[in-house]
Homo-oligomer: A and B are copies of this chain.
Amino acid sequence: MTDIAEPRVAASPEQLDEALAVAATAARVLADSTPQQRAAWLRAAADALDADAEQLLPLAQEETHLPVPRLTGELKRTTFQLRLFADEVEDGAFLHAVIDHADPGWGMGPRPDLRRMQRPLGPVAVWAASNFPFAFSTAGGDTASALAAGCPVVLVGHPGHPGLTRRTAAVLTAALLDAGAPEGVFALVEGQEAGRALIQDPRIAAGAFTGSLRGGRALFDLASAREVPIPFYGELGSVNPAFVTEGAAAARPQEVAKGFAASMALGVGQFCTKPGLLLVPADSEIPSLVVQELGAAAGAPMLNDRIRSGYGEALRTMAGHEVVSVLAGSADPDADPEPTLLRTSAAEVLADPHALTAEVFGPAALVVEYADEEQLLDVARVLEGQLTATVQGDEEDAVVPPLLDLLAERAGRVLWNGWPTGVSVTFAQQHGGPYPATTAVGTTSVGTAAIERFLRPVAYQDVPQSLLPEPLQDANPWGVPQRVDGVRS
């Protein structure tokens, strides 16, 4: 058993350089690993994290102020994710194996034998997030996707939970090595400077990040400005608007208010999918019902001081906008934040959309009262890119189809009569969206499709069977799904 008491951390430039050299070597071993090997590594990691729960959970609770039941559920999610990705690796469809046999009668002229599959990109830099200390941190979705794809991970630990990060890294690394993964499959680095050096290092092939718009954009800019630009998958920010139609507002105001209040206040509003904008008809009783619902909620500590001060600043800016009034809560920077509801009109949002649809990360939301449903659609039209957009409506309502269309243009996930917090890890999940929701509109950071971010296609032309990678051989020894001469197996 590898010792997990003393995790290695690369902090100095020399240590970072060594970690990258080892990762680059590991990348070749990972690229040649079988799906069964990789799946075994992921499952070993999941088992080891579950087995260490009694150490990990108190560390997490102490460093993040999140309640233990929430953290227990998040650890469960994290190890479920590792195991689901192991299944997906064994399934093999993510390799996108395509075989075109040579065809002298091909319509544009004779074609050679061509076979394409996905191969791992190489070492991936992952930035941990603070708000999900398990699921979007050291052994979270980005790490799981990169390992599943066959890429070593160099993780930039989040300073918000340094002890948990080191313990998780140590447990993860030991489990991977004990299961047969090569030295260098995972490394932990710490510090903003190390992160900036990492994204600019030629040995890093891609970056993945969940965090603030400012921090993510800075890293995206570095990744794009390299002599050799690399993909940077940043999940940055989203206000997650919810649109209540006139029909829904009239039919079930209490239900809407209750659901919205619970979703916006959940986890002290520290979710990237927290609904921050609620569109309701101008005469609706929903805002006052939300105020009643929130009334019971007390203030609670946030994840860390930086998030607390960022919340205070964003809330003061929003509440200080001349067209915004405060319906509930307060912007007191010295108290633990309590759920805060602000109010404006749709006409004002249309006049200053950038300021009034900005994300406030924390337990605050803005109610927007609209005059008619044409104005509701107009607000949908001025939205920036979103992780999610929600409709509370009725199936027969005439405004619903155009509204859904507009929202599908702007959001990665469109919800019907639900609330956006809670992002299930499934095959169909899409956690992404146009900028500023993410820096990579075509990708997801949650769900099995997240693996595809760390792959690139390679075609082999006229290569003999004995020299082809297994997924491209006619005998298909790994039994992966293949598309052969245009036909899917």
Contact = CB atoms under 8 A, between A and B. Distances in A.
Interface string A226-237: 001111000000
Contact of A404 (B76, B107, B428, B463): B463
Nearest to A426: B100
Given A395-B467, A401-B467, A458 B427 contact: no
Interface string A96-112: 00111000001111011
A76 B110 CA distance: 13
Given A111-B426, A395-B467, A405 B461 contact: no
A421 to B, nearest CB: 12
Contacts of A116: 428-430, 447, 449
A481 interface: yes
A137 interface: no
Contacts of A229: 220, 224, 435, 439
A153 interface: no
A116 B486 CA distance: 23
A411 B116 CA distance: 12
Contacts of A486: 427
B224 A426 contact: no
A459 interface: yes
A409 B119 CA distance: 8
A306 interface: no
Nearest to A457: B430
A418 interface: yes
Interface in A403-423: 404-405, 408-409, 411-418
A459 B428 contact: yes
B385 A464 contact: no
A84 interface: yes
A80 B108 contact: yes
Given A108-B76, A231-B441, A442-B231, A115 B428 contact: yes
A81 interface: yes
Nearest to A465: B395
A132 to B, nearest CB: 13
Interface string A305-320: 0000000000000000
A13 interface: no
A467 to B, nearest CB: 6
Contacts of A73: 109
Interface in A1-50: 28, 31-32
Contacts of A461: 413-416, 418
A253 to B, nearest CB: 20
A162 to B, nearest CB: 26
B462 A417 contact: yes
Interface in A341-371: none
A231 B98 CA distance: 25
A252 interface: no
Given A228-B385, A416-B464, A463-B414, A108 B428 contact: no
Contact of A458 (B413, B425, B459): B413
Nearest to A135: B108
A385 B415 CA distance: 41
Contacts of A224: 220-221, 224-225, 229
A488 B115 CA distance: 21
Interface of A: 28, 31-32, 73, 76-77, 80-81, 83-84, 93, 98-100, 106-109, 111-112, 114-116, 119, 121-122, 220-221, 224-225, 228-231, 384-385, 395, 400-401, 404-405, 408-409, 411-418, 424-430, 432, 434-436, 439-444, 447, 449, 455-464, 466-467, 481, 483, 485-486, 488
Given A230-B441, A442-B456, 16 more contacts: A73-B109, A100-B427, A108-B425, A114-B426, A119-B409, A224-B224, A224-B229, A230-B435, A404-B467, A413-B458, A414-B458, A414-B463, A415-B460, A430-B457, A441-B456, A449-B457
29 contacts: A77-B108, A77-B109, A80-B108, A98-B428, A100-B426, A109-B424, A112-B424, A121-B441, A220-B224, A221-B225, A224-B224, A228-B384, A228-B435, A229-B435, A230-B441, A395-B464, A401-B467, A412-B457, A413-B458, A413-B461, A414-B461, A415-B462, A416-B460, A416-B464, A418-B462, A427-B485, A429-B459, A430-B459, A481-B488
